[in-house]
Amino acid sequence: MSIEQFLNDDLIKLNLSCKDQNDLFEVMYKEAFSKGMVDELFLTKIKERESVFPTGLNLNKFSVAIPHTDPQYVKEQFIAVVTLENPVKFHLMDDASQETDVSVIFMLGLNQPHQQIETLQQLMAIMQDTSNIEKLLAATNSEEVHSIFKQIEASV
């Protein structure tokens, strides 16, 4: 399975300006909902899940987040890739009492439970290499993001 196959150009947002996590979730929900990719409960459920099971990860130089929710709220599978103009706070996955300033978000919209685990594992492997995050932060369009993931997957 390839992460690149789940990328949707409408859900690749580069240098997005969001005031906070809720703003980010609302922007991405509106885009996915308008394309028929998620149902009307997706926004509520992703916020609920993030509050109980935070997804922020501090990876030395950068912090990323991998918000997702249960498969039944996803109609068409996707992985949204978002880079932010200014970081927003996410609680840490491994210590919910702590926050980190997140610059890169991989929002998962997967409706096959086994794919969520496999995709999370692949994303974790990608994120371990700081240069991959640097490339995503430097990307200026969706074609570059696709190319970055193709290169990463070809080298694995």
The angle, 0 to 180 degrees and rounded to 10, between the axes of the packed helices 21-34 and 42-52 is 150
Domain CATH for 57: 3.40.930.10
The number of distinct structural domains making up the chain is 1
Candidates 77, 62, 130, 137; CA nearest to 107 is 77
Q: Is 11 helix (H, G, I), strand (E, B) or coil?
A: strand
Instruction: Tell me the mean pLDDT in the region 30-43.
Output: 97
Taking phi over 0 as left and psi of -120 to 50 as alpha, with beta for the rest, 135 belongs to alpha
The answer to whether the pTM exceeds 0.85 is yes
CA distance readout (Å), 79 to 9, 67, 97: 10, 10, 27
The confidence band for 112, taking pLDDT boundaries of 50, 70 and 90, is confident
Neighbours of 95 (CB within 10 A): 12
Mean per-residue pLDDT over the chain, rounded: 93
Cα distance between residue 82 and residue 88, in whole Å: 12
Domain that holds residue 105: 4-155
Q: Which helix (H) or strand (E) holds 46?
A: helix 42-52
Q: Which helix (H) or strand (E) holds 33?
A: helix 21-34
Cα distance between residue 76 and residue 109, in whole Å: 8
Q: How many CA atoms does the CB half-sphere of 142 hold within 13 Å?
A: 12
The conformation of residue 97, written as its DSSP 8-state character, comes to T
Place of tokens 């193709």: 150
* Interval 50-92: pLDDT, tens: 999 999 999 888 999 999 999 999 999 999 999 999 999 999 9
